[in-house]
């Protein structure tokens, strides 16, 4: 017996009192199923662009997702707290994000000219609060979280609550004495996230940052497949490899030659490189059309070396450390440079293609004629694939000219080589060699080893066993509650409406009396009361609508179990029971319906855990 | 058995994991007990002026208050929803409050120059959402509420969360076909509010707007006594009369004479009024010193008629309806005009003293010489007390002159008379004649019949049975959650710390093992597990601190039941149990402790309901 009996769940909700304004029409701006269905089922309404109100039915489902997140956070020892939503600008200036976050952050000034932000995330606030309390290593590790309102100023808010301006996020932050402790919490979070999504009935794709390219697995995104996803995922058909295309590893199936001797040997049969005139031929497409193989067939893109000039900012690479530096980046002609991987390889804050003027100045040739052979002015960075090229065509570093028969190891070498290539569907998996394919995905959650970024800039520290001042390392872990809720609908719906998993259903069961009067009303009331007593949350459709209207609404709002009570069944002391997923209903004895249904709900909830 | 077993309450919280940074020092800016104790017990921390973070212990208590409010709202059929915290400026312009709310409202502009507010209250948002869904009288009455973040830009935020800038408010709004329906919901809210405060262990003073002055009991404030209260309350020593001094009714113990004949009769013995020179004598104090009674004694303030010129805005009074109008307002010299009552009597939006220039222009005399006798240029409004004055001194409407022997009914009459006087401690109760006294109070909740203000300005309407378009009437009902929580501490604390009522205690019980090791640890762990199983929320003090430190912390954070387990008791299979309110502990058998304590918690919670 709970000590604080909630009056809440002891009152079966009557449909006519529940304010569920269902709609037949689909709003013109609702492009995805969850937006359409949340709107049509009366879960949400729009107050302004990107600003939604959850109506009572929507809020019930929303709170259940929140509660699942809360329970799993509590279960791993994270502690919930509640910082303000309106936060002082000062702490964002301390961390340097006052500028960095740009226009996506909503700022406000009050009458005293104090600057505030409507918080988009809370690394600063949590770190500011913790640094004042942190004194000893004995207080660590510490994991705190909130489930609270956030605001990000999406320029084009779309897809309902999937990409709104105001949203609710669970954001957790942890502080640690060392990497091992951080990793323990990070792993526990990863497991908690998997449980959360499982309990919500969601098939998520956990996407790890690739250890090859990014130097350590310090980040994992939890994605759901979505046609309107922000992210392109690369998945393997044969194993469970999954990566964001921004970071996906490449299989080394292009015979890279890491040894210059091997490369030279491979080039021994290749004629010496020679210049060929290529007037106005700049792009790979133009080269393919212009250059011919010995047999007269047009050359293929994979026979060319594409050389691009990149500008890199805040480079921390040994020998090349600089606030700004330029690099020539060479890759096989049929492939694309992945800028995230390139930045990681260069240990740069950011990379971008150099301006045309810089290209001409640095290569001595107009755009389209850069190449690795004879390049002196710039460090050359090559993708692994280039190490396997021993008879290639490349720019000759002068207008209207290319070299042919260029060979890596013989005619040029690189300052740096690595995997800087964007993976494509159809390639081989770097783990198992299986075929890779692409999916669009939406990020629901992200766990991330932050390191010292905030603790250092905001002066958080503690004393270790020896009384030495140490800066703690930090992790950050987010889940979007609205987006999780919308994704559940994306995965669980049909033509007629939503199909809620029991764990997040706004009500477990809906009782539909064919006519809410006389003996049928009495039986419906009794069953509703019995179900509530057994812990089943019931919506009782007391409206004087036609049965067809009630059935349609029940399907639209997606209540898992439907019990129909009519005169005919009642004469046999029976009701019709049907799960939202099933086509056919079955008869149950009225006096057993409550127990049977409670057990069915319990069973489904157990399966979801 | 609950269908969704919460993992949350099955894990006894270890003190060393709970992040409860208690403090001995009192922060300099903490002027009241609740602020001091919430800070010292590690419930809250300040992030910026008026912006507080609830730490884990504080949030647990906060959520319990929220949940009590939620349950009582749900119990009367109110439906919870969740509009955004960031709201579009447009709807505030529609209602006219974009201007009216002034600088207390925090405004923001995003990159697209859209105007937003961080919502201080939500009449507009709820009305905007409801008007789009409302079509038929069958949908009414409807009551919706939220428990959500609000922001008001207090110029001088003080007293911790009692008067912060960001806070959480439960705000409910209801829509009705008629006054009777509105009154039903209003009364149900009043009862729900009483239950909420009772369950929180609070002694509230429900303060009704006075029906005499305000024309109908359409407003009730729920106050708690507080030395730093914003409100002055007038209470009766003999009955339960309680009113805000702004609206408190006056007993008619000043023999008002509503009949002019009676007034004239009373004046029959009074000599005709005559002018007396009063050079530079303007104020009541100066008059008292200057004017003498026949026996030579100085005159008393209650022998003068004080006449003030008021400017009233949006007057809806019959015969005097105007966007702006001036009135002469007369009251007995020892009394003060209550502007709220005056505005109500004049059916005016607002009243304020006229500017000096207006006074001279309208009375033909400098400030200090206005009076009712011979006044032509202005309608005269008098307080009831003036009707009983048959030999008074008043301004003569010219510089340096007063009349004496002025008598109401004989020498002047009024356009309007009523109770427009501010009540004072020591006066008689208008209900029972008992003695009135004053208290300072803080408002925790307010229920209010709004009428058509928002539904009319924002074009909300429905069709009645006959297909006629009707504007619904509306009610508004708020409770400050933070302020309620702080008030509980104000009422329940002692020198050593907080004394939580069980209903809102962050934990019901704290187990203190004298040393958390060996058999004592085992017994403490077992008892904690048994208590959690019985539904008692337990904090287990596993720290290696001295018992004195643990006892002090337990007292400071105010956990209702304390169980101490030590070697000596354990040898007898006993533990010491003590309620926070009690001085002495008593021994209980360890194997009965869980059952006994669970029953005690249950008992206290029952008593609070």
Q: Give the span between the Cα atoms of B141 and B135, in whole angstroms.
A: 12
Q: Give the span between the Cα atoms of A262 and A269, in whole angstroms.
A: 13
Per-residue pLDDT tens over the stretch B292-316:
888 888 899 999 999 999 999 888 8
The alpha-helical segments, DSSP class H, found in B255-381 are 260-266, 284-290, 339-345, 356-363
Cα distance from N-terminal residue to C-terminal residue, chain B: 23
B75 burial level (CB within 10 Å; 0-12, 13-18, 19+): middle
Per-residue pLDDT tens over the stretch A236-246:
999 988 888 87
Q: Give the span between the Cα atoms of A94 and A96, in whole angstroms.
A: 5
Candidates B21, B79, B503; nearest CB to A56: B79
Chain A, residues 566-605, CB within 8 A of chain B, namely: 598, 601-602, 605
Binned at pLDDT 50, 70 and 90, residue B217 comes out as low
Kindly list the residues from chain B whose CB atom is less than 8 angstroms away from the CB atom of residue A88.
47-48, 51
Residue B356: how many other CB atoms lie within 10 Å? 11
Q: How far is B111 from chain A (nearest CA, A)?
A: 6
Candidates A52, A71, A536; nearest CB to B84: A52
* Predicted local distance difference test score (pLDDT) of residue B1: 39
Check residue B482 and report its DSSP letter: H
Kindly list the residues from chain B whose CB atom is less than 8 angstroms away from the CB atom of residue A605.
3-4
Binned at pLDDT 50, 70 and 90, residue B391 comes out as very high
* Predicted local distance difference test score (pLDDT) of residue A208: 80
Are the C-beta atoms of B174 and B143 separated by less than 8 Å? yes
Binned at pLDDT 50, 70 and 90, residue A263 comes out as confident
CA–CA–CA angle A236, A241, A247 (5° rounding) = 100
Chain B, residues 133-152, CB within 8 A of chain A, namely: 133, 139, 142, 144, 149, 151
Residue A207: how many other CB atoms lie within 10 Å? 26
Average pLDDT, chain B: 91
* Predicted local distance difference test score (pLDDT) of residue A201: 96
Candidates B54, B112, B132; nearest CB to A45: B132
Per-residue pLDDT tens over the stretch A166-201:
999 999 999 999 999 999 999 999 999 999 999 999
Which of A34-43, A582-591, B209-218 is predicted least confidently?
Answer: B209-218
Kindly list the residues from chain A whose CB atom is less than 8 angstroms away from the CB atom of residue B57.
none
- The answer to whether the Cβ–Cβ distance between B53 and A84 falls below 8 Å is yes
* Predicted local distance difference test score (pLDDT) of residue A375: 93
* Predicted local distance difference test score (pLDDT) of residue B259: 77
* Predicted local distance difference test score (pLDDT) of residue B210: 53
CA–CA–CA angle A302, A306, A308 (5° rounding) = 160
Q: Give the span between the Cα atoms of A251 and B598, in whole angstroms.
A: 62
Joined together, the tokens standing for residue A121 give 């995330």
Average pLDDT, chain A: 91
Does residue A11 have a pLDDT over 70? no
Residue A121: how many other CB atoms lie within 10 Å? 17
- Across B55-213, where does the E strand assignment appear? 79-80, 86-88, 106-109, 115-118, 142-151, 166-176, 205-208
**A442: nearest Cα among A162, A243, A179, A185:** A162
Q: What are phi and psi of B168, to 5 degrees?
A: -110, 130
Joined together, the tokens standing for residue B575 give 């533990």
Is the pLDDT higher at B354 or at A4? B354
Query: Residue A71: closest CA among chain B residues belongs to which residue?
Result: B8
pTM over 0.95: no
Candidates B2, B54, B82; nearest CB to A54: B82
Tell whether B518 is within 8 A of chain A (Cβ): no
Half-sphere exposure of B69 (CA within 13 A, CB side): 26
Does residue B128 have a pLDDT over 90? yes
Does residue A216 have a pLDDT over 50? no
Per-residue pLDDT tens over the stretch A354-393:
999 999 999 999 888 999 999 998 999 999 899 989 999 9
Tell whether B266 is within 8 A of chain A (Cβ): no
Check residue A6 and report its DSSP letter: -
Residues of chain A with pLDDT > 70, as a percent, come to 95
- The answer to whether the Cβ–Cβ distance between A155 and B62 falls below 8 Å is no
Joined together, the tokens standing for residue A95 give 């961390």
Residues of chain B with pLDDT > 90, as a percent, come to 72
* Predicted local distance difference test score (pLDDT) of residue A254: 52
- The answer to whether the Cβ–Cβ distance between A84 and B47 falls below 8 Å is yes
Per-residue pLDDT tens over the stretch B445-484:
999 999 998 999 999 999 999 999 999 999 999 999 999 9
- Does residue A213 have a cis peptide bond before it, meaning omega lies within 30 degrees of 0? no
* Predicted local distance difference test score (pLDDT) of residue B547: 96
Is the pLDDT higher at A149 or at A298? A149
Residues A318-329: what's their mean pLDDT?
Answer: 86
Q: Give the span between the Cα atoms of A438 and A263, in whole angstroms.
A: 33
**A351: nearest Cα among A312, A323, A308:** A312
Per-residue pLDDT tens over the stretch A86-144:
999 999 999 988 887 888 899 999 999 999 999 999 999 999 999 999 999 999 999 99
Kindly list the residues from chain B whose CB atom is less than 8 angstroms away from the CB atom of residue A114.
48-49
Are the C-beta atoms of A218 and A436 separated by less than 8 Å? no
* Predicted local distance difference test score (pLDDT) of residue B208: 80
Does residue B7 have a pLDDT over 50? no
Binned at pLDDT 50, 70 and 90, residue A477 comes out as very high
Check residue A500 and report its DSSP letter: -
Binned at pLDDT 50, 70 and 90, residue B609 comes out as low
The alpha-helical segments, DSSP class H, found in B242-319 are 260-266, 284-290
Residue A567: how many other CB atoms lie within 10 Å? 12
- The answer to whether the Cβ–Cβ distance between B88 and A155 falls below 8 Å is no
- Does residue A141 have a cis peptide bond before it, meaning omega lies within 30 degrees of 0? yes
* Predicted local distance difference test score (pLDDT) of residue A609: 66
- The answer to whether the Cβ–Cβ distance between A47 and B155 falls below 8 Å is no
- Across B126-230, where does the E strand assignment appear? 142-151, 166-176, 205-208, 219-225
Does residue B39 have a pLDDT over 70? yes
Joined together, the tokens standing for residue B234 give 């007038």
Instruction: Give me the interface pTM, i.e. the ipTM.
Output: 0.86
Residue A355: how many other CB atoms lie within 10 Å? 11
* Predicted local distance difference test score (pLDDT) of residue B546: 96
Does residue B216 have a pLDDT over 60? no
Residues B43-56: what's their mean pLDDT?
Answer: 97
Highest mean pLDDT among A258-272, B247-261, B328-342: B328-342
Are the C-beta atoms of A550 and A543 separated by less than 8 Å? yes
Residues A542-567: what's their mean pLDDT?
Answer: 97
Q: Give the span between the Cα atoms of A2 and B536, in whole angstroms.
A: 9
* Predicted local distance difference test score (pLDDT) of residue A429: 86
Asked whether the CA dihedral B192, B198, B202, B203 is positive or negative, the reply is positive
Binned at pLDDT 50, 70 and 90, residue A211 comes out as very low
Structure-token match 């309007």, residue found = B416
């Amino acid at each position: 017996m709970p000590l604080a009996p909630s009056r809440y769940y002891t009152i079966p909700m009557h449909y006519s009192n529940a304010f569920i304004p269902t709609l037949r029409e689909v709003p013109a701006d609702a492009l995805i199923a969850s937006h359409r269905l949340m709107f049509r089922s009366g879960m949400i309404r729009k107050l302004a662009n990107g600003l939604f109100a959850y109506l009572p039915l929507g809020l019930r489902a929303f709170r259940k997702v929140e509660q699942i997140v809360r329970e799993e956070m509590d279960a791993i020892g994270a502690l919930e707290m509640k910082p303000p939503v309106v936060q002082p600008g000062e702490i964002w200036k301390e961390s340097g994000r006052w500028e960095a976050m740009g226009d996506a952050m909503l700022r406000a000034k009050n009458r005293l000219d104090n600057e505030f932000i409507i918080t988009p995330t809370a690394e600063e606030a949590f770190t500011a609060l913790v640094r004042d309390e942190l004194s000893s290593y004995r207080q660590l590790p510490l994991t705190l979280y909130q489930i609270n309102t956030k605001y990000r100023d999406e320029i084009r808010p779309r897809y309902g609550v999937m990409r709104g301006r105001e949203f609710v996020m669970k954001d957790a932050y942890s502080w640690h004495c060392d990497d091992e402790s951080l990793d323990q919490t990070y792993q526990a979070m990863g497991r908690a996230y998997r449980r959360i999504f499982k309990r919500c009935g969601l098939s998520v794709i956990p996407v790890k940052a690739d250890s090859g390219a990014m130097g350590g697995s310090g980040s994992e995104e939890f994605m759901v497949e979505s046609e309107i996803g922000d992210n392109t995922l690369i998945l393997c058909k044969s194993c469970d490899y999954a990566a964001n295309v921004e970071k996906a590893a490449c299989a080394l199936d292009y015979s890279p030659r890491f040894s210059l001797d091997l490369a030279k040997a491979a080039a021994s049969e290749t004629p010496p490189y020679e210049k060929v005139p290529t007037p106005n031929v700049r792009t790979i497409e133009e080269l393919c059309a212009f250059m011919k193989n010995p047999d007269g067939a047009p050359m293929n893109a994979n026979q060319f070396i594409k050389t691009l000039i990149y500008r890199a900012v805040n480079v921390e690479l040994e020998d090349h450390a600089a606030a700004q530096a330029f690099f020539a980046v060479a890759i096989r002609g049929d492939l694309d440079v992945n800028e995230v991987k390139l930045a990681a390889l260069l240990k740069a804050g950011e990379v971008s293609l150099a301006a045309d003027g810089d290209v001409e100045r640095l290569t001595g040739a107009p755009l389209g004629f850069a190449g690795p052979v004879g390049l002196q002015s710039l460090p050359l960075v090559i993708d692994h694939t280039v190490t396997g090229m021993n008879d290639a065509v490349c720019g000759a570093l002068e207008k209207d000219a290319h070299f042919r028969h260029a060979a890596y190891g013989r005619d040029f070498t690189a300052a740096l080589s690595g995997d800087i290539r964007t993976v494509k569907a159809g390639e081989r998996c770097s783990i198992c060699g299986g075929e890779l394919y692409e999916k669009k995905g939406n990020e629901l959650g992200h766990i991330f080893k932050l390191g010292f970024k905030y603790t250092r800039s905001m002066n958080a520290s503690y004393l270790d066993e020896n009384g030495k001042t140490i800066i703690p390392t930090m992790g950050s872990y987010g889940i979007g509650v609205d987006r999780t809720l919308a994704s559940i609908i994306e995965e669980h719906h049909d033509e007629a409406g939503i199909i809620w998993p029991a764990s997040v259903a706004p009500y477990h069961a809906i009782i539909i009396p064919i006519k809410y009067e006389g003996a049928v009303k009495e039986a419906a009331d009794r069953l509703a009361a019995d179900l509530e007593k057994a812990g089943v949350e019931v919506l009782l459709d007391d409206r004087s609508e036609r049965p067809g209207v009630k059935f349609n609404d029940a399907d639209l709002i997606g209540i898992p179990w439907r019990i129909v009570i009519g005169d005919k069944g009642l004469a046999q002391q029976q009701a019709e029971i049907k799960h939202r997923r099933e086509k056919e209903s079955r008869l149950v004895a009225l006096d057993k319906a409550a127990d049977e249904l409670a057990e069915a709900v319990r069973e489904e909830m157990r399966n979801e855990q």
